[in-house]
Chains A and B, each alone.
Chain A
């Protein structure tokens, strides 16, 4: 296969995934403009996996996991990293083959590597979501998550979406044969100004690690959490008919933004080490309640499959 030529840089791998999934008919979307813990939080996945309308999207999502910060020193761990996310509804029967095709597209030679589908049931307690699937291993390394969504925001998924999530740094390091993430070529190493991943991100990893672990003001974070929670509820409590335009406008997305915000505040509080095991459950429960309400709202929008006829 011609496309198995080795990519040269992190960005080339992303570009190849973009063109591969574009060729498979996915809408190539852009990252969501909020801080999220994983690509799943993007409304293009969370909300669009609900309802009966078909959907096919792929995108890069910057993701933040404050507890994983290592000041840029650890070869694999980052508090800010990229996920590549694909969501297709209904899940096509050849999704595994399509997925394997994407690995070939980024230069993984199936004849030389050991690819395995290892059980990994996915559950997001914060999103009230779960699905069954695998983590995909390439020579013992987890390169992707593969999930058939069964429930999101407390709603059964009909039809079922197939979700693929690639941890881009890890995957790229593997494909490029790099041992330390900071040494990975970000652009073409032959470019006039060749940049490594470290050139781009070492500074921010250091700064955010310090802030996440030791400086972030927990009282402020807690207040933000509570404000986001209140705002989410307030948005959803609005009348479905907008008094100004007279149109039916359910504000599922703005409410969901507040849910995302609350979730991120919780992650930051967690990184600051001020949340105990039992409290954690309570916080997760609060975010889940928001996520469920947003899901309830989304399925009453047109994008969520609502029509005058079904409502009648």
Chain B
């Protein structure tokens, strides 16, 4: 094979999206300006720190100087990457895949998987460019003492994963077809979320550097924790990836199937990781973090599912199993509103059942949790449970309102708006009622918490912050009440669910006849 043929072969292997995106990146004035500014800021901060510290009389023979400057650089690197890469990737995809303008690349022979993978790969190249521009400055801190090379490499690797996570999340938001208003809302929400991820990553790395990273690297617990964090991050990236692929897939495709299947795998793998880490590191908070993470993801699935299709085209129906045992399983995993809600509800129930068993059973008996911490954990689990139950209640109520009260007015794809309106009413109505009818108690701060039961924020605050036996009663009572509400709303929506179950059957003839 000669050089030209080899080059052609390599060229064919490249994802077209990567080639296009990188061509655009190198021509983009915004990116180039940001990169140059990034280098200038790094240099300026390094010089500024050195000069100010010198005037302050900081001793550079101390063991902290390198660590201090490294943290500053890490802040700049992470801040730049979190702001630039996800925003750039998200905005680009959003402009290509809006409600009014579906880019023609979505009707090329490129598969949705390749489109999202290409966007991600192009972002990785951009990230590598920024990381490599920062690397000389960060390595320089090693010479200033206070930090070792393995710590630098490890923190950079975790930062890389964090930015990758942020980028994939931004690509997910950008892939949602929306009008300008919704795109702006999603963009601002995404930026706020990225800011908190940035803060979290910075706080964690500063914390572990303060504790001394290098000295802990030879313990198995340390690597278990690092491995656990990495697995959860990679699995989360994968989840956002499959969601993005589902969104950009053809509307007639069975879009939910890969993402729900992946979620099941995600739930199992991260659950096992959380269990093992909790058992080895003796910190049950890790298991509760898993509960919190999957609860949030399942809540998102509920919100998405209420907007999904209620009937299927031939493309999906011909894949419905003819086997009557497999069909109900397929109903939960295939695209479809009722199936999605039932899948998420079932997974939420399973997650909390496992968490309850883990906390109250013998699984973590060796952890010897103090009664105080046990109570704190119970409150946290109750708070997670309330988040899930409120999501289910408001979403199921929205489905009922759409189907029964406004069947002609509300489009299926806009059911989330109804749930948001109901949430708004549930949030504000108790405040007004209490102000009008319980004014005296309100001023004294002695309002019965049941007045606020439709307000998720107030209820969660009550059960996490207030103590005493009354608070315990309210915690159990609110969980029972909301569970009952969820059950009642499921029953109220049962005719709608049953209609979809009945429609979910393979066609009588295997394939539509071609004329």
A, B: real partners: no
Interface residues, chain B, with chain A CB atoms under 8 Å away: none
